[in-house]
């Protein structure tokens, strides 16, 4: 039996009741819109919007006729341009004063012929758009490599800031209408003529010229490719100005799916209130809050019409591409050096492995494995020296790791300019030094992402990327249960006790620090192949903080971490960022709130962890 306070019981009952009400109302709205009532609503709103548009056009036709008559009269009387302008303005004023257009009441107009003409036009437009969509899909498939290369070239415009994963930009400027499309367009034009005839019967003042001017507007009212009940309803209400008509029924049909989405959120909230104590005990308040925030972002994405399957697919990709970098934090925490914010040291080793892969012309799986092998060798040497430094500065690891991370990135800003690489893919076209952003098209771009990938419910699953993540986690799990791993955890948990039992504290710290650095090298190679680029200079600077934020979100502390913390934390951190940015951009368009959100989440989690641990490293 769950123990709940009286206020908690009342909250559960109220939220559950509202949830049931919204589920019933939303389901009724969806059923109603799919039946005769929904068809009638769209029909009436469509006819009303067309009549309003045409009626406003008839006013303009009447005004133009009055102006033309006044102009002709003044010219016949021998008047000059000033008299013509004055007479035209006066005629327009009188015409508008005498001809007021009132929205047409459908019950007072015989719309039988108009409805037939509209239905025929809608059918013709639907056929045309289906043919156009098929032809454009074929065109995109034939030119996919060109579009993707152009997008990647644009992204690789030598920016030092980390950017989002590259989405293919579709350029249809070279698309030419097919013969089938031209034939169907002729049918659309023919049926628009029938629509004009029916409108001119209702509005005698309308002319062919006015209706031809209104043609784009009228065609956009009758049918738009990809129309749904919501898009048609919103478009017709905006044009017809009849949002008040239909009352509650119209509202329920329009917002049926939104009401169901809100009810899902309220159901989750009910469970949260019901099991609040146990959830806080098992997950911890920070993880619970971030998890609920992620669910809220999913609901907002649905409400604002964003593609939730696409966003969830990107989240899964980000989980795989960032997980090894986050995993690199685990041995550092377990061996006692706390958060390894010097992770850029290992990242530099991985970048050097990738650069040598491109320099020597490796590609595909051999190139990927070569980059990992070289990165492991370089990072193991750097990690060993780094561990020796930390052993001499026990008690100050947090500060030292931060300084090391920033210092190696700054030092390599000089190194990238003087290292003797010769490949034209790496160097600037003019001058010396390496480019800021390097494409991996010729080496191992998306190698893991595309391996055995498949799609389910619109979500692309990068099987190879997830398998590699699982493989690395398995190796770490096995290592942490080995004799050396257990000894290393003992040193991290209580170095004095471990030393008293005969364990070499310094040796275990060296192993953990070196392993963390080596995983950083592997992680950046996995990250780069999924991202599609390697970024040099200042780009690696913040990756250590991102990895630290993710593992702390997952439930780790500065003194204890598990593999489950890595997976959960990476998913939540990347999920919040992936969904938060587009949702924030919809809520506050043309702002930098999404970037602000990323910075607040990343640094706020670290600050929270440090306050919980007292900010102290273990000696």
Q: pLDDT digits over 6-17, tens only?
A: 787 888 888 889
Strand (E) or helix (H) holding 78: none
Q: What is the DSSP letter of 427?
A: B
Contacts of 110 (CB under 8 A, 6+ apart): none
Domain membership of residue 230 (yes or no) is yes
Do 272 and 317 share a domain, yes or no?
no
Instruction: Say yes or no to pLDDT of 305 above 90.
Output: no
The tally of domains found in the chain comes to 3
Contacts of 550 (CB under 8 A, 6+ apart): 322, 326, 566, 569, 570, 572, 573, 574
Do 378 and 281 share a domain, yes or no?
no
Do 116 and 235 share a domain, yes or no?
yes
Q: Which two tokens stand for residue 190?
A: 């023919």
Do 537 and 488 share a domain, yes or no?
yes
Strand (E) or helix (H) holding 176: none
How far apart CA 528 and CA 537 sit, in angstroms, is 15
Q: How confident is the model at residue 161 (pLDDT cuts 50, 70, 90)?
A: very low
How far apart CA 238 and CA 45 sit, in angstroms, is 10
Torsion of CA 71, 77, 78, 82, to 10 degrees: -40
Do 525 and 464 share a domain, yes or no?
yes
CATH number of the domain to which 383 belongs: 1.10.3470
Helix (H, G, I), strand (E, B) or coil at 509: helix
Across the range 319-325, mean pLDDT stands at: 92
The answer to whether 434 and 359 have CB atoms below 8 angstroms apart is: no
Residues 284, 287, 290, CA angle at the centre, nearest 5°? 145
Instruction: Say yes or no to pLDDT of 100 above 80.
Output: no
pLDDT at 235: 83
Do 211 and 264 share a domain, yes or no?
no
DSSP 451-464: TT-EEETTEEE-HH
Across the range 214-236, mean pLDDT stands at: 83
DSSP-based helix, strand, coil % in the chain, nearest 5: 75, 0, 25
pLDDT in tens, 367-384: 999 999 999 999 999 999
Last residue of a domain, one of 243, 274, 292: 243
> CB count, 10 Å around CB of 146?
12
Strand 454-456, strand 437-439: pairing: unpaired
Do 568 and 452 share a domain, yes or no?
yes
- End-to-end CA distance of the chain: give it in Å, rounded: 45
Domain membership of residue 463 (yes or no) is yes
How far apart CA 601 and CA 603 sit, in angstroms, is 6
Do 132 and 232 share a domain, yes or no?
yes
Q: How confident is the model at residue 385 (pLDDT cuts 50, 70, 90)?
A: very high
Domain membership of residue 354 (yes or no) is yes
Domain membership of residue 604 (yes or no) is yes
Helix (H, G, I), strand (E, B) or coil at 601: helix
Q: How confident is the model at residue 160 (pLDDT cuts 50, 70, 90)?
A: very low
The answer to whether 309 and 457 have CB atoms below 8 angstroms apart is: yes
Do 26 and 147 share a domain, yes or no?
no
Contacts of 282 (CB under 8 A, 6+ apart): none
Range with the largest mean pLDDT of 84-93, 555-564, 584-593: 555-564
pTM more than 0.85: no
Domain membership of residue 250 (yes or no) is no
Instruction: Say yes or no to pLDDT of 99 above 70.
Output: no
Find tokens 């969509």 and name the residue.
Answer: 133
> CB count, 10 Å around CB of 310?
16
User: Which residue, 165, 189, 206, is CA-closest to 530?
Assistant: 165
Domain membership of residue 619 (yes or no) is no
Do 567 and 466 share a domain, yes or no?
yes
Last residue of a domain, one of 217, 243, 269: 243
User: Which residue, 508, 491, 489, is CA-closest to 500?
Assistant: 491
In this predicted structure, which of 145-154, 243-252, 455-464 has the lowest mean pLDDT? 145-154
Do 179 and 125 share a domain, yes or no?
yes
Domain membership of residue 173 (yes or no) is yes
Do 482 and 581 share a domain, yes or no?
yes
Structural domain boundaries, residue 273: 6-32+256-303
Domain membership of residue 189 (yes or no) is yes
């Amino acid at each position: 039996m769950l123990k709940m306070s009286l206020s908690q019981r009342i909250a559960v009952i109220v939220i559950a009741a509202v949830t049931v009400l919204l589920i019933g109302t939303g389901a009724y709205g969806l059923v109603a819109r799919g039946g005769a009532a929904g068809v009638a609503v769209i029909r009436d709103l469509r006819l009303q919007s067309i009549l309003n548009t045409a009626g406003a056009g008839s006013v303009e036709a009447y005004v133009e006729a009055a102006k033309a008559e006044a102009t002709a009269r003044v010219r016949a009387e021998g008047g000059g341009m000033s008299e013509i302008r004055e007479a035209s303005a006066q005629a327009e004023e009188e015409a508008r004063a005498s001809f007021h257009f009132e929205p047409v009441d459908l019950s007072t107009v015989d719309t039988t012929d108009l409805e037939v003409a509209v239905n025929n036009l809608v059918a013709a437009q639907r056929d045309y758009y289906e043919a156009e969509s098929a032809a454009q899909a074929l065109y995109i498939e034939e030119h996919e490599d060109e579009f993707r290369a152009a997008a990647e070239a644009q992204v690789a415009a030598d920016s030092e800031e980390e950017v989002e994963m590259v989405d293919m930009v579709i350029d249809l400027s070279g698309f030419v209408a097919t013969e089938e499309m031209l034939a169907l367009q002729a049918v659309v034009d023919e049926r628009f003529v029938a629509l004009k005839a029916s409108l001119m019967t209702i509005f005698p003042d309308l002319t062919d010229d006015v209706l031809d001017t209104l043609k784009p507007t009228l065609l956009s009212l009758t049918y738009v490719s990809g129309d749904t009940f919501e898009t048609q309803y919103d478009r017709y209400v905006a044009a017809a100005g009849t949002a008040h008509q239909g009352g509650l029924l119209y509202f329920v049909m329009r917002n049926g799916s939104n009401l169901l989405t809100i009810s899902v959120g309220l159901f989750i909230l009910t469970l949260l209130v019901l099991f609040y104590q146990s959830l806080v005990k098992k997950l911890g308040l920070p993880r619970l809050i971030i998890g609920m925030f992620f669910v809220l972002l999913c609901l907002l994405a649905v409400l604002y019409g964003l593609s939730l399957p696409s966003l969830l697919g990107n989240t899964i990709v980000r989980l795989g591409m960032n997980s090894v970098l986050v995993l690199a934090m685990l041995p550092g925490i377990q061996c006692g050096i706390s958060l390894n914010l010097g992770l850029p040291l290992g990242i530099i080793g991985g970048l050097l492995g990738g650069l040598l892969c491109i320099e020597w012309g490796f590609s595909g799986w051999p190139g990927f494995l070569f980059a990992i092998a070289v990165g492991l060798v370089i990072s193991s040497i750097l990690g060993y020296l780094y561990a020796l430094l930390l052993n001499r500065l026990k008690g100050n690891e947090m500060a030292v790791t931060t300084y090391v991370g920033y210092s190696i990135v700054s030092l390599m800003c000089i190194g990238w300019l003087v290292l003797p690489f010769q490949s034209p893919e790496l160097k600037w076209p003019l001058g010396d030094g390496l480019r800021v952003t390097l494409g991996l098209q010729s080496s191992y771009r998306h190698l893991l992402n595309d391996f055995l990938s498949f799609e389910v419910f619109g979500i692309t699953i990068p099987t190879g990327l997830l398998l590699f993540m699982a493989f690395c986690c398995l190796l770490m799990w096995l290592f942490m249960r080995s004799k050396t791993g257990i000894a290393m955890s003992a040193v991290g948990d209580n170095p004095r006790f471990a030393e008293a039992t005969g364990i070499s504290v310094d040796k275990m710290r060296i192993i953990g620090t070196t392993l963390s650095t080596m995983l950083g090298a592997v992680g950046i190679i996995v990250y780069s192949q999924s991202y599609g680029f390697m970024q040099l200079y200042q780009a690696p600077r913040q990756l250590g903080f991102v990895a630290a934020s993710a593992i702390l979100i997952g439930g780790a502390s500065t003194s204890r971490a598990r593999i489950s913390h890595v997976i959960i934390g990476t998913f939540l951190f990347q999920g919040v960022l992936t969904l938060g940015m587009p949702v924030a951009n919809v809520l506050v368009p043309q702002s930098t709130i999404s970037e602000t959100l990323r910075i607040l989440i990343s640094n706020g989690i670290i600050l929270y962890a440090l306050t919980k641990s007292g900010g102290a490293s273990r000696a």
